[in-house]
Structure 1
């Protein structure tokens, strides 16, 4: 946790334009706390947050991801996942020194408003966040996490939120009978969400084959993961058997890849699920596409559905068991690249937005 106080402002319309700004200490209103951010991850998922920063109907209201940590008509503050320690407190039930895992701005410090405080953590009740998905507003005490292990610490912010998304996608596929597909095509197969999905699918017996679609340069790496039944380069999609009933899960939202799959498989493509938009600068107009309409996967909505059906404790137990099964693999799936300070944070953001991050590493920032 740094003593320097900074944040990174991002242009809401031109997400590649970002700058470091000073973030001086302010007076804490009653009931709030300040945390110093210890460590967070920078992944392609964060680019998706920036792309959907402005209201686009994703949350069913007029809010977007910029609304978590910035007021309207101010520069955006990018949400990131990580660990933070309470540095100041004006809340009777949250003490200085407590450490929490959760959703923070790309900054050195953050002010949160805890509500529903328990031994396990709290929910942020800052007014602008009240109508945003609750899964993003929950902060978990590290010492109360049933599936936290010290050796996994650096992999938590890199993989945990993306593993959750992949696990929920696998759950939806199973719930929908895999859309009658004989194979699941996972586009951007080297991405961390795709890796989580592939791992979850591999735990099933008798399910469809899992095919990783990736760039030619990433084929060897994706094959080395041992999570896919087959790996196909994007340029080789046209050589696949177009008669096999298939479903596609598109992690990056690349319209060229989507069009190649749709137009090759046509009616044999039973479902096309879009998860992310890290290819934010690609032209969305790929022309007419055969096959089914594209549908957006929204992890908070799926998690709320399952929490309602399984109960919070049932959901937690299933997720923890799945996560612990995955974390044993994490060190062999990628290495951790730690960087420190505001300049490093800005450079890591620029690198990720430009699509230059190495799929074989997990970028971790220590503010």
Structure 2
């Protein structure tokens, strides 16, 4: 049994209310392991998890992101992506010292229930998690990670989940004939998911639409110099875009003013309007009636499951690994690693990301 550990509790109904708590480790039940988090990333994606912590229909049931690591009725525990080392095991096939990449609570340790343990890792089979998307319940041994390179270690939690989402969006566009669009507008273009999308579209060998990154005026020149998008413009310049050309919108942040401006400008020439995240969680998300295409949510686990069914798990993994390795060759110039240490730093990083003050040119890594 471990000594006291810490975690961050978040009010399920008011995500601005967060506090650090100490806990005494409970004895493990058969089949469980205790892990110490070595490092995890804090990104805008985590704020989307908090916004949709309550049941929101994304999972096709009455569960939300709080259900991964907290019981109903209690404070929420925010899911984060990171690396952890097993410190205690009561499960066959997993031993103390084994290291895994996966989904953990914002804490310095976690207890997981092991199922289907093997050379590649295991599945968490905690009862409340069995009806949640499988992609979130997989824990992969570091030695078995396809495309893993030690030099890229910190970039895995910073970019990997977000890059995968961007890659899957790009795949959906290709699969749908780009929705008939000649230009793809990518809002919050400095976000890591948007960068993954722009990078993935740019690698297509076939004819593709022009990609236009939309960002704040202060970020235009620097983002344009990265050459991720064909063009980068400020939100204030949306009206200069050719409204007569068929367009599609991919929205990463849920800023209603931007959404309405694009829908109004393009009208019937807006062929698709895809919502991905909600990092601008306090803003009107533009959910009202709008001209042009109906708003639709993109849900990465659903798309992953489709492609695994289409291609098989091995082929899906190989495609992702190839794309990821190519992206890792440019990732260090896109974001530097900003390491934070301890419980107070973890809480501060959450509040910084929640406020929108985090620098998109940095990737926050928390070392518990």
Normalising by structure 1, we get a TM-score of 0.98
Q: Aligned partners of 2:276 and 2:3: how far apart in 1?
A: 37
Q: Deviations over 1:74-98 (max 9, x none)?
A: 0000000000000111112100000
| 2:275 corresponding residue in structure 1 | 274
2:207 aligned with 1:198: no
Q: Distance in 1 between matches of 2:53 and 2:107?
A: 17
Q: Compute the displacement of 1:24 (Å).
A: 1.4
Superposed, 1:5-16 pairs within 5 Å as 5-16=5-16
Counterpart in 2 of 1:236? 237
Q: Distance in 2 between matches of 1:45 and 1:39?
A: 16
- Measured in 1, the distance between the counterparts of 2:285 and 2:151 equals 41
Cα distance in structure 1, aligned partners of 2:55 and 2:254: 18
Structure 2 segments unaligned to the other structure (5+ residues): none
Structure 1: 5+ residue runs without aligned partners?
none
1:259–1:286 CA contact under 8 A, matched in 2 = no
Task: Check conservation: 2:4, 2:25, Cα contact below 8 A.
Answer: no
Q: CA deviation at 1:222?
A: 1.4
How far does residue 142 in structure 1 lie from its aligned partner after superposition? 0.1
Deviations 1:14-57 (A, max 9, x none): 10110000021110001100000000000000000000000011
Q: Does 1:117 align with 2:102?
A: no
Q: Give how far 1:253 is off.
A: 1.0
> Matched residue of 2:179: which SS?
helix
Q: Which residue is 1:144 aligned to?
A: 144
| Secondary structure at 2:238 match in 1 | helix
CA RMSD of aligned residues (A): 1.2
2:31 is matched with 31
Deviations 1:187-241 (A, max 9, x none): 0000000000011001013210000001111112211221100011001101111
1:311–1:286 CA distance, 2 compared to 1 (3 A):
closer
Structure 1 residue 62: deviation in Å?
Answer: 0.3
In the TM superposition, residue 288 of structure 1 has moved relative to its aligned partner by 3.9
Cα–Cα, structure 1 residues 226 and 146, in superposed 2: closer, same or farther, change >3 Å? same
- The CA deviation at 1:283 is 2.4
Aligned equivalent of 1:103: 103
Map of 1:188 onto structure 2 = 188
Shift of 1:286: 6.8
